Amino acid sequence: MGILKGTLPALLTPYSNDGMINEKEFICYCEFGIDKGLDGLFCNGSVGDSQALNIKDQIRLMKLSKDASKGRVPIITGITSNIYQDTMILADEAYKIGLDALLVAMPYYYKFDEETLLEYVKNLALKVKLPLYIYNIPLFAPALNLNFIEKISKFKNIAGIKDSSGDALLLNHILDIAPRNFDVFVGREEIYTEALFLGAKGSMTSIGGIFPELMSEIYHAMNEKKYERALLIQKSLLKAIRFGMSISFPIGFALLLKARGFEFANTTIHPLSSLTKEKLDKCFDKAKELIKTIEQEVNIKL
């Protein structure tokens, strides 16, 4: 469908000391990413605490993303919920706010069979008023196999898929069987260059928001066939990905943003153990040193 392309960030959510969304910082964070070359914004994803936020807060993030964009880039929002009515409310609000697309993972907790999930996708796609992308994220929701993906790729109003499986073999097969108008995005930073080489439209990742200038350069370098440059940047970012995943998800990635100068990781809506809190304090200097190392390796001022 060509709704989205390029490098999009899976946006994290900053909080004030009272636990409310830090709206000013969220907008600054979005504007920073756009200024550094992002091709769109993705709010209400896993790393943004979507499944821990109430509907009101998720809608607020949609509006803040729209305010930050100022029409410069398209916006996709997650609408995943085990409550079907809530998914529809989020979809309707996204349309009213003027967003561009929707992303939904399969209902989790209840183990529905494949035919039930196919009916769920078909029903949802027919009812929502914006193009719908399907989210394959086995880390948190039912894993989608190639047969399932091939079937939904032919449904009306299904624009594409974000594949966060990290399975390069599956991704290769998805790109092989997908119709030409079916957008395939990768959700794992570790294989961005490979995904682009194989024909993916772009990425939606947390590192895209933390290092927008680097993820954007990977995209442009691959388009210009500067493969060595793209691979060098991707390899340099691996240490940041490992760091982000080493602390209770998603707070490790928030700490990287704090090390870049943003008001993140000061507080969270998740209950943290004293051990995790100590780790955050101890790892902040490590995060800053990591950023300096990446800066030197890729020769880009961060």
Q: Which domains does the chain have, with CATH numbers?
A: 6-226 (3.20.20.70)
Which of 134, 189, 141, 200 is CA-nearest to residue 166?
Answer: 189
Name the 3-class secondary structure at 119: helix
pLDDT at 248: 87
In this prediction, residue 83 has a pLDDT band, given cuts at 50, 70 and 90, of very high
Rounded-to-integer distance, Cα 73 and Cα 34, Å: 8
Q: Is the pLDDT of residue 1 over 70?
A: no
Mean pLDDT computed over 133-154: 96
Mean pLDDT computed over 169-173: 97
Contacts (Cβ under 8 Å, ≥6 apart) of 210? 9, 240, 244, 253, 256, 257, 260
What DSSP line would sit under 212-251, residue for residue? HHHHHHHHHHHHTT-HHHHHHHHHHHHHHHHHHHTSTTTH
What's CA 56's distance to the chain center, in Å?
20
Burial code (b: 16+ CB inside 10 Å, e: under 16) for 264-284 equals: bbebbeeeeeeeeeebbeebe
Mean pLDDT computed over 24-36: 98
Q: At residue 7, what is the residue type?
A: T
Which tokens belong to 267?
């507080």
Q: At residue 107, what is the residue type?
A: P
What is the dihedral sign for C-alpha 28, 272, 276, 143? negative
Q: Is the pLDDT of residue 114 over 80?
A: yes
Mean pLDDT computed over 132-160: 96
Q: Is the pLDDT of residue 3 over 90?
A: no
pLDDT at 275: 87
Which tokens belong to 157?
């109003």
Q: Is the pLDDT of residue 142 over 70?
A: yes
Mean pLDDT computed over 248-271: 92
Which tokens belong to 63?
């509006």
Which of 107, 83, 103 is CA-nearest to residue 94?
Answer: 103
pLDDT at 272: 84
Rounded-to-integer distance, Cα 257 and Cα 157, Å: 35
Answer for the pair 212, 33: CB distance below 8 angstroms, yes or no. yes
Answer for the pair 251, 268: CB distance below 8 angstroms, yes or no. yes
Which tokens belong to 190?
């570790």
- Alpha carbon distances (Å) from 101 to 32, 45, 94, 125, 138: 22, 13, 8, 12, 22
Rounded-to-integer distance, Cα 157 and Cα 152, Å: 10
Peptide bond into 250 cis (omega under 30): yes
Contacts (Cβ under 8 Å, ≥6 apart) of 195? 171, 184, 186, 203
What's CA 139's distance to the chain center, in Å?
14
Report DSSP state, residue 49.
T
Answer for the pair 211, 161: CB distance below 8 angstroms, yes or no. no
Q: Is the pLDDT of residue 2 over 80?
A: no
Which tokens belong to 17?
């000391």
In this prediction, residue 278 has a pLDDT band, given cuts at 50, 70 and 90, of confident
Question: Which residue carries 């990742």 as its tokens?
Answer: 205
Rounded-to-integer distance, Cα 172 and Cα 193, Å: 13
